[in-house]
Amino acid sequence: METIEMISKYRIGEIAAIIAGASLAAVIAQSGPHNVASGDREILLQTMRSWNGKPYTRYPTGQPQLTTIKLTIAPHTALPWHTHPFPNVVYVLSGSLTLHERASGKTLVVHQGQAVGESVDDVHRGESGDEPTVLLITYAGTPGVATSIPAKGEKAEY
């Protein structure tokens, strides 16, 4: 009988420890972050016009689809001429990007930490500088529509 009582006492102790541990874990999980505060916002780009000065006049119709890509361009490399069917934003993570518009000859240099709105339906291309250029590009498009369209006779941008 004493053996059964000792086993029962140990079992009760084990069960109590398990319950206490589970309760403590639940309290910790519910406590969440130690500090709740608003973040610091820095607007990188807010525009109604592309870099070449032309206003954005429309969004595509249908189901919206946001696409974000990271694009790396080797040093001293020009991308093929292309267009975009809808607005997009380019953020330069590293390096620099020189944008060229084919029809007008306009150019714009965008440096690390800067963002620019790309042109819609205008043939253009980007060119890297002396080091690799890494871009973060976000497109506001629709499913099934390419984010970049090569100009006639050109390779795909990516």
Please write the tens of the pLDDT for every residue from 49-107. 999 999 999 888 899 999 999 999 999 999 999 999 999 999 999 999 999 999 999 99
DSSP 62: S
Cα 137 from Cα 93, distance rounded (Å): 10
Better-predicted residue by pLDDT, 19 or 93: 93
pLDDT grade for 34, boundaries at 50, 70 and 90: confident
Query: What is the residue-averaged pLDDT of the chain?
Result: 88
Better-predicted residue by pLDDT, 33 or 135: 135
Tokens of 26: 């639940």
Give pLDDT, residue 13. Answer: 56
Residue 135 scores a pLDDT above 70:
yes
Better-predicted residue by pLDDT, 40 or 11: 40
Give pLDDT, residue 131. Answer: 98
Which is nearest to 89 in space by CA: 22, 141, 26, 38? 141
Give pLDDT, residue 64. Answer: 96
Tokens of 13: 């102790």
Give pLDDT, residue 2. Answer: 52
Residue 147 scores a pLDDT above 90:
yes
Give pLDDT, residue 105. Answer: 97
Cα 53 from Cα 91, distance rounded (Å): 18
Cα 87 from Cα 49, distance rounded (Å): 9
Give pLDDT, residue 22. Answer: 56
